[in-house]
Structure 1
């Protein structure tokens, strides 16, 4: 298993100029995963891009954490529908090729 890089939450909050309570609220909604090692809280490096999106939505659009939760759920559903549509289109193409 590859070792994942962890970034201290306080460092991220300082860098992005956000409150730790904002990150805590995202965590309580299940939008981000927080790792705790020796009483220091971290987020995995691979999840920072999602956190950045949430921060931009919060700051630029003034959306609260509950609204961010709704937005991310809708984005996941859109991605699922896109995947389903692609799979359906591929099956249709195969069917059309078989019946030519």
Structure 2
């Protein structure tokens, strides 16, 4: 992965006003993947939207890291179910249009 696709964790800490330990805890829980290059920690740019959700859940709702893990697992399941529901609706519409 190229360096320009990574964001420095120190920059995120300053921008979102959170501690590095928050990112370390998210990494430990498997919610994000920290990449270390030359002893500097980065995260991939493509997970910023999920990261912002995690920070909001943590700060605004006072949810701990374990709670964030539960919330994100439920959100992922809901997204999967929504995709399945859309697929089923599309199939149903296809069958109904053939009638």
TM-score of the superposed pair, with normalisation by structure 1: 0.91
Deviation track 1:11-54 (CA, whole Å, cap 9, x = no partner) reads: 21122111111111100011011111111110111211211111
* Residue aligning to 2:53: 53
* Residue aligning to 2:29: 29
| Moved >2 Å (runs of 4+) | none
* Residue aligning to 1:5: 5
* Residue aligning to 2:70: 70
- CA-based RMSD of the aligned residues comes to 1.4
User: Which structure's residues are more often helix, by fraction?
Assistant: 2
Give the gaps of 5 or more residues in structure 1. Answer: none
Give the gaps of 5 or more residues in structure 2. Answer: none
**Any idea what SS the aligned residue of 2:83 has?**
helix
CA distance in 2, matches of 1:79, 1:56: 19
